[in-house]
């Protein structure tokens, strides 16, 4: 992992924490950008890269000056999923590898870490997002994609089932019919269609993509971080709990946030007809 745009706010992200250069860490104000940097292999994931991602997300979670994490890819892809040429998974000389072990050691910690970040996460999908690469994007809170980008559930074409959280997130986002169609057929799903069916938040013209990502990330930074993160948790829980449980959880959250600085600031800003300055983290 390599650091770019080093600033004083990056002091918690010391260089020696990051052994590999397959991940670029970029800092712009309160936005932390994590750029997959294996363009020659379409940013496919190997053990080094997944470990670097977990480490960078851990560091960002601890750094209270970070208010939004953006995941993106170098070059023409977001991420092509597992590196199928990596010796850890490649079936060499008729000796199959234990892929369950790979999923448990690399993908499970990464996806759990991502989904439990204490700040909003934004996936900037500038090209193909396939297999675990699609899961990496879809487990972010907000997904914005270039119009030319595609999403592929690339598992069935290599004899596998969707993984890295895809079986959990796909039906939640698009329902069983679309999830099964995508997962079984493994077609390229254009970003525009992905937006139409609710797989992603937004598809934008290629020329407008960078500016849109920057604007969205900065906007997320200005919003009340703790309330956003709790919103993620409540919505995820709401899919499987009773109405009564959801109402109780909402009441508990409002009880907590009602005493917090951000609520006082939000109401004061409303009364004074000014923009709120949220700082809780």
| Cα–Cα distance for residue pair 82/124, rounded to 1 Å | 19
Read off the tokens for 98: 């234990």
Q: How far is CA 119 from the centre of its chain?
A: 11
In the bound complex, what is the minimum distance in angstroms from residue 108's beta carbon to ligand T3D? 11
* Residue 103 interacting with ligand T3D (CB under 6 A): yes
Over the window 11 to 50, marking each residue x when it contacts ligand T3D by CB under 6 A and - when it does not, the resulting string is ------------------------------xx-x------
Which residue of 155, 209, 263, 278 would you call a contact of ligand T3D, by CB under 6 A?
155
In the bound complex, what is the minimum distance in angstroms from residue 128's beta carbon to ligand T3D? 5
Q: In this structure, are residues 202 and 159 in contact, taking their beta carbons and an 8 Å threshold? A: no
Q: Which is nearer to ligand T3D, 159 or 271 (CB)?
A: 159
Nearest to 200 by CA among 261, 139, 131: 139
Which residue of 102, 139, 189, 204 would you call a contact of ligand T3D, by CB under 6 A?
102
* Residue 183 interacting with ligand T3D (CB under 6 A): no
Over the window 81 to 100, marking each residue x when it contacts ligand T3D by CB under 6 A and - when it does not, the resulting string is xxxxx---x---------x-
Q: What is the DSSP letter of 268?
A: H
Q: How many CB atoms lie within 10 A of CB 98?
A: 11
The partner residues of 2 in beta bridges, in order of sequence, read 24
* Residues contacting residue 161 through CB under 8 Å, at least 6 positions apart: 155, 167, 183
Binding-site ranges for ligand T3D (CB under 6 A): 41-42, 44, 80-85, 89, 99, 102-103, 128, 130-132, 152, 154-155, 158, 160, 163-164
């Amino acid at each position: 992992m390599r650091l770019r745009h080093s600033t004083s706010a990056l002091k918690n992200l010391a260089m020696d924490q990051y052994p590999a250069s397959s991940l670029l860490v970029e800092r712009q104000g309160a936005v932390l950008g994590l750029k997959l940097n294996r363009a020659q292999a379409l940013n496919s994931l190997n053990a080094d890269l997944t470990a670097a991602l977990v480490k960078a997300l851990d560091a960002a979670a601890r750094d209270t000056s970070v208010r939004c994490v953006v995941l993106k890819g170098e070059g023409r892809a977001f991420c092509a999923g597992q590196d199928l040429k990596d010796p850890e998974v490649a079936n060499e000389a008729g000796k199959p590898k234990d892929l369950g072990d790979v999923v448990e050691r690399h993908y499970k910690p990464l996806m759990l870490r991502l989904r439990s970040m204490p700040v909003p996460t934004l996936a900037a999908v500038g090209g193909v997002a396939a297999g675990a690469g699609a899961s990496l994007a879809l487990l972010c809170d907000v997904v914005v994609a270039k119009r030319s980008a595609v999403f592929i559930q690339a598992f069935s074409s290599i004899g596998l089932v969707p993984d890295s959280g895809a079986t959990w997130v796909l039906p939640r986002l698009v329902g069983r019919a679309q999830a099964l169609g995508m997962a079984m057929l493994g077609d390229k799903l254009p970003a525009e269609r992905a937006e139409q069916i609710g797989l992603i938040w937004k598809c934008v013209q290629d020329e407008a993509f960078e500016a849109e990502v920057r604007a969205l990330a900065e906007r997320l930074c200005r919003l009340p971080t703790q309330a956003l993160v709790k919103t993620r948790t409540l919505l995820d829980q709401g899919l499987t709990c009773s109405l009564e449980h959801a109402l109780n959880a909402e009441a508990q959250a409002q009880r907590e946030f009602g005493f917090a600085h951000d609520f006082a600031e939000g109401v004061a800003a409303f009364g004074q007809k000014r923009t709120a300055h949220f700082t809780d983290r």
